Amino acid sequence: MVPGAGFASLLRRLGGTTGGLGSGTQARIDKNKKPHIKWKPQKQICIPVLEHFDNKYRQEHGELWDKAREVLLLPCSWQYGVLVNKFSHCVPLEDLLQSRGYRNFLQDVLPFSQHSIRCYISKDKNRFPRLLHHAERLKEYYLLNATSLLPVLALDAQDGESVLDMCAAPGGKSVAILQSATPRHFVCNEHDSLRFKWLKQTLESFVPEDLRGVISVTNLDGRDIGPQKPQIFDKVLVDAPCSNDRSWLYSSDVLKARIRIAHASNLPVLQEQLLRSALEALRPGGTLVYSTCTLSRAENDDVVASLLNSYDNIQTVNLADLARSLSHNFTFAKGVQHGQLIVPVKGKTWGPMYVSKLWKVH
């Protein structure tokens, strides 16, 4: 793997130059030019899904849904974070980001100010181009909704721990975990076969070969992992399959969308099954983080509440301090009992993202 080899072409696309980059000299950057990025055509809203959301979320979230609705219906307003890949060792990228008005939003987030995760965001709707996959080249950055890092921050993986990312595709959270820690063993699992291939490609694009020895990429049903690997892991992340509000709202197949609405009650059942498996795989004293990218109470707090009512050896971990440290950048919903919920609003279009953290006491 060649670290940072794709940055020269990136600079040319964004208006910079590559002078001296090969010899380690900082690249010169033309700060006056703006990146010329072609936007995709406006997405088409799936009306049955919007009607479903209006009926459900207005009842659950009231006026906050109206604010989120405005953002979700305007994809051109969505903001994107740039997660820097520390393994590419590309210092000029961060200089370029800062010259474009981006800032590392984690540098003031305690206790993560000394964290090695670096994710840059901007108030503007600038979006860096996606980097193409090259088998022999590490990518310099990963584009993501910055709220995707909240589960990673809550997980707080440490060097030498055994970590499971149960529903890992497309791999952004796995990449972020490896930016912050070097686990003793890191299992990145994805049950869906197509998404499993996507996950493998993501890890190949961001992780150097000398680190891949600690990573196992598996294609298992997450519900089977607990029985197969009981009390193995120190930390488990379950970023569960969910309604995925942003994506579902723009479903291209109306018939499939209607069928999905009719079977929406199946998702919380699957999510709880995955969490039960995760708890079985977690060692006593370990922590589990559950996350979704939906506003649905049935898939968020209700799933966690059902779990808490079924087990006498787990407790929720308060994430209020983490939420306060991020409140300058994200909007958190009030009245969430068992975790934190980030809601997209005008000017802070990040989310939705729900996160709950559980401690297995014994």
Which is the catalytic residue, given 167, 188, 242, 293? 293
Q: Cis check for the bond before 268: say yes or no (omega within 30 of 0).
A: no
* Contact present, 357 and 151 (Cβ < 8 Å): no
Helices (H), the chain: 7-14, 47-61, 63-72, 91-99, 149-155, 172-180, 193-206, 222-228, 245-248, 254-262, 266-281, 301-310, 320-326
**Would you call 316 helix, strand, or coil by DSSP?**
strand
Residues whose CB falls within 8 Å of the CB of residue 362, separated by 6 or more in sequence, listed in order: 284, 285, 313
Q: Cis check for the bond before 170: say yes or no (omega within 30 of 0).
A: yes
* Contact present, 331 and 342 (Cβ < 8 Å): yes
How far apart are alpha carbons 133 and 11 in whole angstroms? 17
Residues in the chain: 362
State the Rg of the chain over Cα.
20
Residue 281: name the closest of 242, 324, 318, 237 by CA: 237
Q: Is 242 a catalytic residue?
A: no
Residue 3: name the closest of 202, 179, 138, 205 by CA: 138
Separation of first and last alpha carbons in the chain:
43
Measured in degrees and rounded to the nearest 5, phi and psi for residue 223 equal -70, -15
In Å, how far from its chain's centre is CA 356? 14
User: Which amino acid makes up residue 307?
Assistant: L
Q: Catalytic site residues? A: 293
